Chains A and B, each alone.
Chain A
Amino acid sequence: MKAAEVEEIQKKPKTRKTKSVEEEHPLEKWLRMDRMPHIWCSTCGIGTAVTCFIEAIKKTTLAREDICVVSGIGCSGRIAGYIKQDSFHTTHGRAIPFAVGLKLANPKLKVVVFSGDGDLSSIGGNHLIHTARRNLDITVLCINNFIYAMTGGQVAPTTPPTAIATTTPYGNYEHPFNLPALAAACGAVYVARWTALHVRRLTNSMAEALQKKGFSFVEIICPCTTLYARKNKLGSGLDLMKFYHDNSVIVNGADPREVDIQFQSEIKVGKFIDVDKPTYLDSYNTYMKTKLGDKFKPYGVTDEERQ
């Protein structure tokens, strides 16, 4: 090769291989693509829930940098690692305490806890009920697949009676949690339940929950193909989706105590609770103002709002 040719090659700017429009998915800007492909099984519904969540953020007027996603441990605990937001992958069951810390340290943030049923309702059950009781302004999105999926399909507090899990080979005999009733009884201001198939309604519900002031709780029924469906001989995740299609009934405003799920029974979905209540920081500020008067400096309020 001639010296002039070598020089010419060296002068040429190195072009990185860029993706054409045909290859780039519109959600790639919102996902950490270096982590893809994700760990979720084929026909798992968690990926659908993530799409709905990103679409919900786009629907709201919230700035992207103001939204934090916190996840615990489990299949759905990986969500924080895949979403390109400020996100935390925390210890088992402690997603809500981390979120409470985030919210109290910087009340401007919109903190979203996106985790599973085992993480939120059993190991982190106490945190769920007390954060709902205090009505702290965070959004909890709970993926419910009726089982501890990542650890091998053990019975979870949400497993319906007679369903088979690894630790209950003859069927489950425990009474399960009814998560919307639990959240509503503890004082959540927004409670809804959708399945992974109701993508449009789930997106709208998530957007409403994100904009709601106070503790908002959305339960997402998700198909688990590898453990729940296989152990119970229900087919694949696609068959579970077909089951949700045929057996879910939309009952907006239903009493949350009546929406419990039995094994392969009708699933009542909808928006159950939407009320207004002062949040934790609001009650703190108003109460301390009455006690301390002008000495008290309200917390989490901008200077403009203070005057």
Chain B
Amino acid sequence: MKYWRKPLDADRIKIPEGELHILRERCKGCAFCVEYCPKDVLELSHEFNSKGYHPPIVKNGAICVHCQLCEMLCPEFAIFCVLKNQKEPAHES
């Protein structure tokens, strides 16, 4: 990340990395998580689950920042995020 001035709390800020878990069989394919993911991590799969819905799949898991918005929005309790680790942001001044 490039700043014109290094933020005062730059040494304290860490970027969390999340790991998404999708319970495919519980999903009803509403696509709330796909639509509102701020990082566009998810997309709807082409496969069906046993209920006949298209559950989401992780498109690019590396950019997930563990905001847990998908977990909050999911009406089926079918997706959740686990904090994997926190990485130091690379600063350029």
Chain A residues with CB under 8 Å of chain B are: 21-23, 25-28, 31, 36-38, 40-48, 51-52, 55, 197, 199-200, 203, 236-238, 241-242
Contacts and interface: CB of A to CB of B under 8 A. Distances in A.
A51 B74 contact: yes
Interface string B74-90: 11111010100000000
A48 B26 contact: no
B72 A37 contact: no
B21 A43 contact: no
A42 B31 CA distance: 9
23 contacts: A22-B21, A23-B21, A25-B23, A25-B77, A25-B78, A26-B80, A31-B77, A36-B26, A37-B26, A37-B76, A42-B29, A43-B28, A45-B75, A46-B75, A47-B75, A51-B77, A52-B72, A199-B73, A238-B30, A238-B31, A238-B32, A241-B32, A241-B36
| Chain B interface bracket (under 10, 10 to 19, 20 to 34, 35 or more) | 20 to 34
A43 B54 CA distance: 13
A6 to B, nearest CB: 36
A241 B35 contact: yes
Interface of B: 21, 23, 26, 28-32, 35-36, 53, 69, 71-78, 80, 82
Contacts, number: 68
A51 B72 contact: yes
B35 A48 contact: no
A199 B75 contact: no
A19 to B, nearest CB: 10
Given A23-B23, A238-B35, A44 B77 contact: no
